[in-house]
Amino acid sequence: MKWGLIVVAGLLASCGKTGTGGQARPGPSTSPSTSASASASPSPIGADTLQLVVGVAPDWDATQIELSFYTRVAGGPWRLRAHWPGVVGYAGLAWGRGLHGFGAPPGAPVSDPLKVEGDGRAPAGAFSILTGFGTSAPPAGLRWSWLAATPTLRCVDDPRSSHYNQLVDESRVAADWSSAEDMLRGDELHALGLVVGHNTSATTPGAGSCIFFHVWTGAGSATVGCTALAHDALAELLAGLEPAAHPVYVLLPQRSHQALRAAWDLP
């Protein structure tokens, strides 16, 4: 995984380019009632993960989600610590690339959408939570890593670039992209943020880039692929994260959440 001052994989304010809709896996059609097979999908949540953020959407096309923050002691049950409303991509969700694997987990219906660049969908699955970032100083008492947005910090969403799905300081690298997002914005979306580890391992061009938690514009809003929530809620999440707890973000539509709950040891 590429992380550092010059290159930070997996970010973006507007969560990637807008474009066409989600891509379904090729194969025969399945019944709408078919869901991911829990018995066929090993858990992407390790025993050392002691903090879990779970986002659940009503279905693949929903833009609003319920976010819950859980903690546990090693070997113990999950305990709810906080709960917030959130929003995701304007086109809903699609299977992403993360701790659960690359795309849909084993047993998922072939009709489930897969995340591609510009589809307006937030990646579903299980993901590492990476560095925090923002347009101001880090919140007092923050224990999480922090990256300050600067005038030259960009997130590259051009699949043809060697810096695809990376945060780069444009003053320190040769630009080989035709599309990138400014991390220092003129609005409040990047006042606080967290990087979601989507498509950061064996990065695949075109599979989606620059996925964050960031501040929303309102409860009725949507993003182009990120997860957004109220400023105070995001501040609470940031304040609660512990590096030693190896936190994981799980984002799923309700049916997949129910199907994978036992296999993934979800609360």
Distance of CA 28 to the CA centre of its chain: 29
pLDDT in tens, 118-147: 999 999 999 999 999 998 778 888 999 999
Is the dihedral angle over the CA atoms 67, 131, 248, 26 positive or is it negative?
Answer: positive
Q: Quick one: pLDDT band at residue 21, thresholds 50, 70, 90?
A: very low
Choice between 69 and 11, residue whose per-residue pLDDT is larger = 69
**Residues 234, 246, 201: CA angle, nearest 5 degrees:** 95
212: nearest Cα among 258, 267, 165: 165
What is the reported pLDDT for 37?
47
- Is 21:220 a contact under the CB 8 Å cutoff? no
This model's pTM is above 0.75:
yes
pLDDT at 15: 64
CA distance 21 to 120: 7
| Order of all β-strands in the sheet with 7-9 | 7-9, 166-169, 153-156, 180-182
Query: What DSSP state is assigned to residue 262?
Result: T
